[in-house]
Structure 1
Amino acid sequence: MSRPTNFGAGPSALPESVLHQAARGLLDFNNTGIGIAEISHRSKEFTAFLADTENLIRTQLDIPQTHSVLFTQGGGSAQFSAVVLNLLARHRLLHPDRTNAERAMDYVITGSWSKKAAEEARRLGGGTVNVAVDARAYSKDGRSFDGIPTHDTYTFSPDPALIYYCENETVDGVEFSNDATSAASFPFHLLPKDTLLPLVGDHSSSFMSRPIPHLAEHAVIYAGAQKNIGPAGLTILIVRKDCLVDVDAAAKLGAVPVPLTMAYKTLADSASVYNTPAVLPIYIAGLVLKRSQELGGVKYYEEVNKRKAAKLYAVIKEGEAKGVVRAKVKEGSGSLMNVVFDVLGDGAEAKFISGAEALGMKAIKGHRYGSVGGIRVSLYNAVTEEQTDALIAYMKEFLAQ
C-alpha cells in the first residue's frame, strides 16, 4: 500500500526507512530487549546513543568545540523565553550596573515566529526590545510578511544583550538567503564588532537542510526537531560556552530568575539528562541523522532542496502568467522549505486541495494564523524529489484545465 505524501509544515514527513527502524526499536533498542520508549535515559546504551547523535550533528554542521550541543524540550516557543532569560543573565553578569532600560534586545522581525519571539521578550521584561527591522514596513501592502528587507533598513544596538532572527519563517514562506551577495541574506557585516556576539538564530524549519552561515559567530542556535529530523517533542540547541552562565549569580544581581530546566548551564552540566529527555524523539532523530550522514549530510540536502524548490517556484511562475496562481513572497526571499502561494478564482483553492488529496498529497493548506491562508507546500528533507515532481505534474495539469 502506497503511503500518502506529507507536505505538512510540521510534524512533517520522516523517511520511511527510518520509521521501519524506529518501529523495531520500540520493541528492542540496540539489542537490549527493552523498547526505546521504556529504557532508562541514564542507561549506558541510551547515553551512548545520545553522544553519537550529538556527534552526528557536530560533524555535519562542522560545529566548533567552542559550542555545546544540548537536547531539551518545549519546542521553539519555549526558546522564545529561554533565550531571553539566559542572555539577559549573561548580560547582567557582564554589566551589573546597567539598568533594564539600558539592556537592549534586538529583534529582526521577518514573519509570524520572530514577531511572537519579540512579543515574548517584551512580556518577560528585564530589558528593552529594539526592533532592528520589521519586514512589514517594506511589504507590498505595508502589513504582510512577503520578503526579506534590504541591508540598508537594519538598525542594530551598539551593545545588545541579544540579537534575534528567525532564519526561515514557516508560516509566511520567507527565508534568509545563504548567498552572502544576495540582498535577502542576513546582514552579518552590520552587526556590532564584537568577537562574542550575542547572536541568536531560530533555525527550526531549515535545521540540517543546509549549512548554517557564520555558525561559530552565534551565541545560540536552536531548532525544533519536527521539521527535518524527527518527531515533535525534541529541541536541539547549539550554545556558545560563554553563554552557559550561572543564572543564580545573575539573579542575585537583579536578573530575572531562570527556571533550572531552562538554564543552558544546567543542560550542559548534566549532558542533557538533568531530567528525563524526550527519549523516543531523540532516538528517531538519531536514526534520521545517521541516514543523512550516509547520504552526504547537509551539502547533499542543500543541493536536493534547491532543485525541489526551483521546480516548484517555476510552476508557480507559470501559474502567475496564466492568472491562476499568485506567489505570496517576493522573488529572492522565498523559502526552500515552505513554499506559499494563492490559487485564484472562486472555489479554485478548495478544488486544488481536493484534487491533490485525491492523489495522496496531504497537508498543503496554508496556515490558519491571521489571514495567511492559501497554499503551503513544505519540502523538508524527507520529501523526495520524485514526490515533488508528482506535485508539479499535478499543478501543471491543474493549470492546463
Structure 2
Amino acid sequence: MSDPTRVINLSAGPCALPESVLHEACQGLINFNGTGIGIAEISHRSPEFVAYIKDVQHLIRTQLDVPQTHSILFAQGGGALQFSVVVLNLLARHRLLHPDLPESERVLDYVVTGWFSDLAIKEAKRLGGGRVHTVVDARAHSPVGKFDNIPPHAAYTFSPAPALIFYCENETVDGVQFSDGADPTAPTSFPFHLLPQDKGLLPLVGDYSSSFMSRPIPRLAEHAVIFASAQKNIGPAGVTVLIVRNDCLPDPDAAAALGAQPVPGTLAYKTLADHASLYNTPAVFAIYVVGLVLRRLHALGGVAAVDAVNRRKAAKLYEAMGEGARKGLLKARVEEGKGRSLMNVVFDFNEKEVQDRFAAGAVERGIKGIVGHPLVLGTRLSIYNAVTEEQVDTVMAYMRDFFAQL
C-alpha cells in the first residue's frame, strides 16, 4: 500500500527507490532471510549473505547478458573513486603487457562529454603514470562552449594503442547521453567502429553510474571495465558495481615490481575478484537493497521492459518541455538530436524568478529534487527506473499548468 506522505522524488542522486523495496528493506533490517539477525548486523561472511551476494551477481549477469569472460564485483565508494581506481589497475595491466615501454608512450584516452568525464580526465592527469589524451571534448562542438551535445564521429581521435579508453555513457549534470547503440551509425552513438581494430582486447572503460540497468549496454563484452555507483538507479549510496573483463585483473605487486604505481590492496580488482568481493567488509546494506531492486526488475521483465517505460517517460517530459520552449519561456539544455538523456531532462527558464517559482510550485505539488546541479542550477528532472510513469504524468500536468499561468 502506497504511503500518502511520500512525494515524487526527482533527485539526481541518491535516487528514488521503489516503495515496495523500501518496505522489504525495513523488514530485512529486523530479520534478514529468516536468520533472526538484521541485514545491518549480519556478518558479511555468513553463509546467508555469501549466498545473497552470489544471487545479486547472477541477477546482473542474466539481465545484462554478461559473458563468463567478465567478473561481477562490488566495490566500496562511488563512481568518482573509480576515476582513480581504474587508472591504477589498467596502468598495472599495461605495465605487465609492455614492461619496457617509456612512460610517454603509455597513453590514456578520454572522451569528454560532460562534467563527470571531465572530472575523470582531471584525476588521470593528477595521478600521472602515462600521457593523458583527450579524444574529443564536447565543449569544442557547442556554439556556447558547454556540455550540450554528443560530438560528431568525425571529431574523435583515438590513440592507436592506449592503456585505457574512458567514456561516461550518461552525464547527469547537463543531461547528455549516448544513444542505445541499436543504430551504430547514429550521430549520437558511441563510435565503436573508430576504436583501434587490430590491437586485441581493448581497454575500454564505461562509466554507467546513472543509466545502469535502465537499458541494455551496447557491446558489453567488448568492454574492459564497466562501473556503476548504485545510487542513481539500483540502490543507496555506498556500493559500486563493477563488470571487469578477466584479463583486467592484474597482479598489482607484479606490476609494481616492474615500475608501475602501487595499487592499494583494497582497490585492486584482483583482490576483489580473488575474495569474491569479500576481502573486507563490503557495503552490506547497500548490496542488500541492490539485490531487492534487481529482483523486482527481473519480475517486471528485466532491462528491456524498463527501457520501454523509460523511453515513454522521457518522451512525455521532453514534449512538455518543448511546449514551454515554443512559448519562449525556457531553453532546453540539450537540443533534440544532440544526445538528450533518457534519465535527466534538463532545461533553463529565461528568468531566474520564473525558475524559482517553478521549483517552489513543484514542492507544493509534492514534487521534489528538481533544482539542477549546484554548478549550473536550472531545472533537472531525473526519471530513474523507480520513478513511475504515473508520477511522470503528474509532473507533466504540473509543467503544463505552470506554463499556462505565464
Q: For 2:227, what is the secondary structure of its paired residue?
A: strand
Tell me the equivalent position of 1:54: 57
Q: Does the CA contact (< 8 Å) of 1:12 and 1:226 recur in 2?
A: yes
Tell me the CA shift for residue 292 of structure 1: 0.2
Q: Which amino acid aligns with 1:356?
A: A
Taking the aligned partners of 2:107 and 2:220, their CA distance within structure 1 comes to: 23
Counterpart in the other structure of 1:390: 394
Distance apart, 1:331 and its partner CA: 1.4
Q: Following the alignment from structure 1 to structure 2, what is the Cα–Cα distance between the partners of residues 113 and 229? A: 19
How far apart, CA to CA, are the structure 1 residues paired with 2:348 and 2:122?
Answer: 28
Residue matched to 2:204? 199
- CA–CA separation in structure 2 for the residues paired with 1:231 and 1:335: 22
**1:100 Cα deviation after fit:** 1.0
Q: Which runs of 5+ in 1 are unaligned?
A: none
Counterpart among 214, 229, 232 of residue 224 in structure 1: 229
TM-score (norm 1): 0.98
Which residue does the alignment assign to 1:170?
172
Corresponding position: 1:9 with 2:9: no
* Pairing 1:365–2:375 present: no
Between 1:339-348 and 1:4-13, the stretch displaced more is: 339-348
Q: SS state of the match for residue 317, structure 2? A: helix
For residues 19 and 315 of structure 1, what CA distance do their matches in structure 2 show?
30
- Distance (Å, rounded) in 1 between the aligned partners of 2:119 and 2:206: 14
1:233 equivalent among 215, 238, 251:
238
Residue aligning to 2:68:
65
Match of 1:190 among 191, 194, 201: 194
Q: Write the deviation string for residues 38-77 of structure 1: whole angstroms up to 9, x where unpaired.
A: 0000000000000000000000000000000000111001
What are the Cα deviations for residues 160-188 of structure 1, in whole angstroms up to 9, with x where unaligned?
A: 00000000001111000014231010000
Cα offset, 1:2, TM superposition = 3.5
Which residue does 1:378 correspond to in 2? 382
Deviation, 1:395, is: 0.3
Aligned to 2:93: 90
| Distance in 2 between residues matched to 1:84 and 1:346, nearest whole Å | 40
Select which of 316, 319, 335 maps to 1:314. 319
Q: Report the residue type matching 1:388 in the other structure.
A: V
Q: How far apart in 1 are the matches of 2:165 and 2:230?
A: 23
Following superposition, the deviation at residue 329 of structure 1 comes to: 0.7
Q: CA deviation at 1:221?
A: 0.1
Cross-structure match for 1:301 = 306
Residues of 2 paired with 1:215 and 1:21: CA distance?
31
Contact in 2 for aligned 1:223/1:235 (Cα 8 Å): yes
- Report how many aligned residue pairs link the two structures: 398
CA distance in 2, matches of 1:89, 1:172: 33
Give deviations 1:183-202, integer Å, cap 9, x for gaps.
Answer: 01000000001331000000
Q: CA RMSD in A?
A: 0.7
Query: 1:316: Cα distance to partner?
Result: 1.0
How far apart are 1:325 and its partner, in Å? 1.6
- Partner residue of 1:337? 343
Report the residue type matching 1:340 in the other structure.
V
In structure 1, the partner of 2:133 is: 130
How far has the Cα of 1:270 moved from its partner?
A: 0.1
Distance 2:351 2:105 in 1: 52
- Find out whether 1:105 has 2:108 as its counterpart: yes
